[in-house]
Structure 1
Amino acid sequence: MNSNVKSVIFWAVIICVVALIFVVVRKGNNKADAQVTFSDFMKQVEDNRIKSVQITGTDVRGIYREDGSGLKTVIPANYPALFDVLQKKGVNTEVKETGSNGILSLVFQMAPFILLLGFWIFMMRQMQSGGNKALSFGKSRARLHSSQQKKVTFKDVAGVEEAKEELQEIIEFLREPQKFQKLGGRIPKGVLLVGSPGTGKTLLARAIAGEANVPFFSISGSDFVEMFVGVGASRVRDLFEQGKKNAPCIIFIDEIDAVGRHRGAGLGGGHDEREQTLNQLLVEMDGFESNEGVILVAATNRPDVLDPALLRPGRFDRRVVVGRPDVKGREQILKVHTKKIPLSDDVELSVIARGCPGFAGADLANLVNEAALIAARQNRKVVSMVDFEVAKDKVMMGVERRSMFITEEEKRHTAYHEAGHALVGALLPDSDPVHKVSIIPRGMALGVTMYLPTQDRNDINVLQCEAQIATAMAGRVADETFLGLKTAGASNDIERATDLARRMVCEWGMSKLGPLSFGKKDEQIFLGREIAQHRDYSEATAISIDGEVRGMVQQGYETATKLITENREAVIRIAEALLEREILDGNEVRMLIAGESLPAARPNSNNKSNNSDGQTQPVLRSENGIRPNPNPNPSPA
């Protein structure tokens, strides 16, 4: 109702402005009437020069017969003979009442003052109101979630059971504070959700809003920063004032690293706008005045750049790590995302979950969506296991580039290159099992050999690292052994092998130099990433490091050479099968190595192309080890 009244007032003001402009323009276009005395007016009537007259009270306006110009005069209050004189001379006479014209004239006279008063009231109300309105720079842009909105509950969140338990306890604090306060406990003031992108931090916050029967304010960290000085601090004050009025309540700040970065870093100095905003946030969370009943929940994927004063107990009492889900968590997430999708009987979510190690919740949601789109493009009413396999290949290896023209010679190069990767990966006991080999161009790669571990890996040992280096070098060895030349297709393999060997030496202490770390990283917090690396070792040590790295890569090269030489016929069988079928799965690769014949190829629209050359599946270093990259962006192999 309040918004409707505002709309009516707004349009009324607009109409008055338009009417005033119309009257002013109309008056400007009319010719100015000549002011004459009453005696001159009567003389002109006697001379028969007046054509028509309009009488309004004591005001008289007349029009001349000659040129149609106007005149005006004022008659005495008591002059009853005027009308008789005008009638006698044949003057067209019109008499108007004074009431309506006087009111209209008064309205037009007062209109400018009314408009100025209305404009002043409008601007004052805008300065006092929040939201995106004019001059509301200092007001918080937090959105209050009402109970009527569509709710997300903890039933919609899967794969992060420990985080859910921590946050459910926060909700119990708000529902029954006496239960904890009677033992001397106090409600936590802040909860920081930390995790990789796509793990479900914001979804957990939405679930808190759906579960807690208290007001829930949500805002992004970037909403505090504005081009005007002091706006961020003002918005923080206004946000917590709203929270105090609605206590007990929850305030959620997404991507808090936008305003919570380490102070004293960067180009702004002590008067940096971001620092003033952070200072105000620190004071509001735990300053001189208490904020009882206001719980701050924040999310970030960069906890390393946050200011230490923001992370201390009393401000953020709890840090909840939202990690990547394990195989059981991935299966539960798939169940949540496939709840409204019709699945065929052959779909086994546990098998899909085992085939997606390293996938976060967002990756799994994207996988389910891609499978549904693939089934819809083929006009099917249910999503089958084949759709999930095709979607998984698309997400993990990239989109097939079937329109790309590849010569037969390049296709042959790619087949032998990928056959070398597949053979060494299948024979080394410490290597991840081969999952699929393809010579169809995908993404930026001309061919892909994909490995999937049998179980989730949280760490990596030296034997597994050496196996990965040997597997990476197998493509180059196959090029030299079967083609007699070196190609640029091994560039990404060499880069990965060298980087892994250097990390084994400089970070993980897996070399003859001992358990030492070489090279201190220089992180510029203002820029948000490491941009340099200090050499905290001597030149002689640098030479030793280079020698160790070279030795590890060379050892992997020799291991791959030995395996490929001893299993030359197996490599040829794998390459020829790739040239015929273009895609081989792990079981088919192992059958070819064992010398067995492959069963007849199943009809598959994905196995017809003229594509080539390749590289192995890229890997990423996570916090706990190496994992397959669910979204690789490989360079041309």
Structure 2
Amino acid sequence: MFDDDNNRKGDNEGERKGGDFKVSPRTWLVWIIILATIPLLMMLKERSDGVQQPLRRGEFFSLVRSNLIVEGTLVRDSQYDNMYEIIGKYRVERNGKAEEKTFVLKDVILSDADLQLLWETDKFATRKPNTVLTQLLVGVLPIVLIVALIYFFLIRQIRMAGRGALSFGKSKARMLNKEKNKTTFKDVAGVDEAKEEVQELVEFLRDPKKFQRLGGRIPKGILMIGAPGTGKTLLAKAIAGEADAAFFSISGSDFVEMFVGVGASRVRDMFEQARKNTPCLVFIDEIDAVGRSRGHGLGGGNDEREQTLNALLVEMDGFDTTEGIIIIAATNRPDVLDPALLRPGRFDRQIVINLPDVRGREAILKVHAKKVKLDPSVDLAVIARGTPGYSGAELANLLNEAALLAARAGKKSITMTELEEARVKVRWGRERRSLAMSEEEKRSTAWHEAGHALVNVLLPHTHPLHKVTIIPRGQSLGATMSLPREDTWSRRKKEMLAMISVIMAGRIAEEMYTGDVSTGAANDIQQATSIARAMVCQFGMSDKLGMIQYGEEDGYVFLGREMVRSKGYSEQTAREIDNEIKRIIDDCYKLAKDLIWQHRDKLEVIAQALLEYETLDGSQVEEIVRTGKFTPSDPQYRGSAPMGAQAETPAPEMAVPKPPTLPGLGSPAPAPA
């Protein structure tokens, strides 16, 4: 059932209605059991106290004649008139001190003379046996205890709302409270087109006649597709904050359970509760958890996940479909969703939420900047230009990290220095200055990063160099960072070949310095191979193999794509693909090696500057390549060039002898000898 945040009932707590406290029947039952147990415990205690020391008949009358009996009670047997049970206390002296002890005699036969002797002592009394109570306790108490155990351990667990065995099939969707949800469309930025489409949905709920005059109908479903962090869930929260209709939220994983049939039952229960609140909105986050394509997996066509998906398909657009229920779903894996789920009539509209462009990033930064204190000198437009490819979540994290850095430094506001460090930290990790590196390891890292930086500046189709450092960040011992001049939505062949050459340059420079190779280039080799394979198999950038896609994208999405994916090409073609990938990497490796050998003097200047200053800006590396000399910058600005500078200023023209060119790559930018 739907859990309303404003109407939650406890299992063992009373309810307040109209200011009066109403006790539940379960509470009364517990108190009755407690009160009934008290006299039983007192009776058992009394009986246990009297059965401490049994006496024989002769010992008892000896105590009576010696006048050592303190008190006693005669309990006549219900069947035999002359048979009694005697309970009492007697006195005994030990070490000059008198002590009292209890005794009991069971089933003792007393004659008239014995009774006369006991009456003369004036210390005994008679009591009739409580046979009714005794029989009731002996006969009924075990049954009551068994029934109580069955109730508390079985029936009560079943009837516990939301947690019992019979509640597994209840939906876990929760109704969002408008008073708690303060998110509106003003809090969403950078996705103007997506916001317009969902605003139209809210307007339809507010005034349906406006659209029905022309014969339009309300969409049954909206699927939001986008990369992680682009704001899909935030947009759904804004719809909940703006819409006047009921809004229920549930995650795709909430349908999955260890019991068979639970997922389908929860889907049916969710729509049943939604029908009671129409018109309403139901938001399913990460719908790929239950909406994956059918026909794949170990369970064939009858496994639990497919039953859940079938129930969802029928409820969204089946034989008995109720109008007024709008499904909003979000996913970052649209390629694995079942085609029947994506058709119009179930999800009539698909909204693609891309990474924000420069204007979108500036708008997102302005929204999140309201929560932090920025220095008046901070220009959010500069920050937006210096963060291409950042998602909305990364931009929010950037400002938060900058605020933490400013607070750690004792500043009263956030400046550009903290924003620059936060930007690098979010994308490439935090500096690890505490890492103990040997001098030899540090020199090898300096030459490795100098090779990347040198070739990045020399080649014409690379992104401008932003910064190169040998300070360990994240999992790397050093980093060479470059930023595009503007937002890029596609890559060209020359650009990808230049990227491979830049990647290979680190290994070449390191080998030139040490005369040996190390494992430091493992990630470089992996990146270069991935780019070359994509050029050959996906982008048709190989003249030998042509514009053909090698390898099928449709894999077994439930078991894993790489486990059972079919190749889709012959073994001979596979060998040709491997040879073509190796040729591309070898040609780029040769070009990078020729460039480094021709400019090895500048490579050494860059490496020595890195060893001394640890971090160089892109403009400083360009100056070394252009003049062959290094000019240190102001220490207070060392290692933190203003963001966006690389995006505004193109790389300068250089004049050097042309090294060998790679087919399709073009000549590298000339530089002075």
Q: Into which bin does the TM-score normalised by the smaller protein fall? A: 0.7 to 0.9
Provide the residue aligned with 2:29 in structure 1. 13
- Cα gap change, 1:395 to 1:533, in 2 (>3 Å): same
Q: Deviations over 1:70-103 (max 9, x none)?
A: 99xxxxxxxxxxxxxxx999789999xxxxxx9x
Amino acid at match of 1:582: E
Report the Cα distance in structure 2 between the residues aligned to 1:533 and 1:51, rounded to whole angstroms.
Answer: 95
Between 222-231 and 539-548, report the one with greater CA deviation. Answer: 539-548
1:490 to 509, 521, 532: 521
TM-aligned CA deviation for residue 227 of structure 1: 1.7
Percent identity reads: 52
1:257 is aligned to 2:285: no
1:592 to 617, 624, 647: 624
Report the Cα distance in structure 2 between the residues aligned to 1:481 and 1:115, rounded to whole angstroms.
Answer: 85
Alignment of 1:72-111 (within 5 A): none
Provide the residue aligned with 2:465 in structure 1. 434
TM-aligned CA deviation for residue 327 of structure 1: 1.4
Provide the residue aligned with 1:517 in structure 2. 549
Number of aligned residues: 575
Q: Deviations over 1:581-634 (max 9, x none)?
A: 100111111122222542444147989xxxxxxxxxxxxxxxxxxxxxxxxxxx
TM-score, normalised to structure 2, is 0.76
Q: Deviations over 1:311-352 (max 9, x none)?
A: 111111111111111111111111122211011123222222
Report the Cα distance in structure 2 between the residues aligned to 1:119 and 1:539, rounded to whole angstroms.
Answer: 68
1:477 is aligned to 2:486: no
Report the Cα distance in structure 2 between the residues aligned to 1:531 and 1:435, rounded to whole angstroms.
Answer: 40
Q: Deviations over 1:185-209 (max 9, x none)?
A: 1111111111111111111111111
TM-aligned CA deviation for residue 387 of structure 1: 0.8
Report the Cα distance in structure 1 between the residues aligned to 2:210 and 2:155, rounded to whole angstroms.
Answer: 46
Report the Cα distance in structure 1 between the residues aligned to 2:435 and 2:89, rounded to whole angstroms.
Answer: 91
Query: Structure 2: which 5+ runs fail to align?
Result: 1-6, 16-22, 52-64, 75-84, 91-101, 107-118, 128-132, 641-673
Alignment of 1:224-243 (within 5 A): 224-243=255-274
Amino acid at match of 1:177: P
Provide the residue aligned with 2:301 in structure 1. 270
Q: Deviations over 1:417-476 (max 9, x none)?
A: 211111111121110111110011112211111111111111111110111111112122
Rg bigger for which structure?
A: 2
Report the Cα distance in structure 1 between the residues aligned to 2:377 and 2:140, rounded to whole angstroms.
Answer: 82
3-state SS of the aligned residue for 2:297?
coil
Amino acid at match of 2:14: V
Provide the residue aligned with 2:657 in structure 1. none
Report the Cα distance in structure 1 between the residues aligned to 2:468 and 2:191, rounded to whole angstroms.
Answer: 33
1:534 to 566, 569, 582: 566
Q: Which protein has greater RCO, CA pairs closer than 8 Å, 6+ apart?
A: 1
Provide the residue aligned with 2:586 in structure 1. 554
Report the Cα distance in structure 1 between the residues aligned to 2:595 and 2:569, rounded to whole angstroms.
Answer: 37
Amino acid at match of 2:43: K
TM-aligned CA deviation for residue 561 of structure 1: 2.5
Q: Deviations over 1:541-598 (max 9, x none)?
A: 3343333222222221222223223323322221121111100111111122222542
1:501 is aligned to 2:517: no
Provide the residue aligned with 1:223 in structure 2. 254
Report the Cα distance in structure 1 between the residues aligned to 2:287 and 2:233, rounded to whole angstroms.
Answer: 12
3-state SS of the aligned residue for 2:166?
coil
Query: Structure 1: which 5+ runs fail to align?
Result: 35-46, 55-60, 72-86, 96-101, 608-637
Provide the residue aligned with 1:629 in structure 2. none
Provide the residue aligned with 1:355 in structure 2. 386
1:568 to 597, 600, 623: 600
1:425 is aligned to 2:459: no
Q: Deviations over 1:388-422 (max 9, x none)?
A: 11112222222222222222222222222211111
1:187 is aligned to 2:226: no
- Confirm or deny: 8 A CA contact 1:509 1:516 kept in the other structure: yes
Provide the residue aligned with 1:311 in structure 2. 342
TM-aligned CA deviation for residue 384 of structure 1: 1.3
Report the Cα distance in structure 2 between the residues aligned to 1:202 and 1:115, rounded to whole angstroms.
Answer: 51
- Confirm or deny: 8 A CA contact 1:512 1:548 kept in the other structure: no
Amino acid at match of 2:589: Y
Report the Cα distance in structure 1 between the residues aligned to 2:397 and 2:389, rounded to whole angstroms.
Answer: 14
TM-aligned CA deviation for residue 111 of structure 1: 13
Report the Cα distance in structure 2 between the residues aligned to 1:384 and 1:166, rounded to whole angstroms.
Answer: 37
TM-aligned CA deviation for residue 300 of structure 1: 1.2
Report the Cα distance in structure 1 between the residues aligned to 2:282 and 2:377, rounded to whole angstroms.
Answer: 45
1:334 is aligned to 2:374: no
Report the Cα distance in structure 2 between the residues aligned to 1:242 and 1:361, rounded to whole angstroms.
Answer: 34
1:30 is aligned to 2:62: no
Report the Cα distance in structure 2 between the residues aligned to 1:425 and 1:110, rounded to whole angstroms.
Answer: 89
- Cα gap change, 1:481 to 1:153, in 2 (>3 Å): same
1:168 is aligned to 2:199: yes
Amino acid at match of 1:558: K
TM-aligned CA deviation for residue 522 of structure 1: 5.7
Amino acid at match of 2:33: V
- Cα gap change, 1:520 to 1:228, in 2 (>3 Å): closer
Report the Cα distance in structure 1 between the residues aligned to 2:126 and 2:400, rounded to whole angstroms.
Answer: 80
- Alpha-carbon RMSD across the aligned residues, in angstroms, is 3.8
Report the Cα distance in structure 1 between the residues aligned to 2:630 and 2:301, rounded to whole angstroms.
Answer: 73
- Confirm or deny: 8 A CA contact 1:140 1:239 kept in the other structure: yes
Report the Cα distance in structure 2 between the residues aligned to 1:260 and 1:70, rounded to whole angstroms.
Answer: 79
- Cα gap change, 1:491 to 1:271, in 2 (>3 Å): closer
- Confirm or deny: 8 A CA contact 1:305 1:528 kept in the other structure: no
1:145 to 176, 193, 204: 176
Report the Cα distance in structure 2 between the residues aligned to 1:146 and 1:70, rounded to whole angstroms.
Answer: 73
- Confirm or deny: 8 A CA contact 1:522 1:532 kept in the other structure: no
- Cα gap change, 1:330 to 1:412, in 2 (>3 Å): same
Report the Cα distance in structure 2 between the residues aligned to 1:114 and 1:476, rounded to whole angstroms.
Answer: 79
Provide the residue aligned with 2:635 in structure 1. 602
Q: Deviations over 1:162-192 (max 9, x none)?
A: 1111111111121111111222111111111
Between 546-555 and 177-186, report the one with greater CA deviation. Answer: 546-555
- Cα gap change, 1:68 to 1:606, in 2 (>3 Å): farther
Provide the residue aligned with 2:407 in structure 1. 376
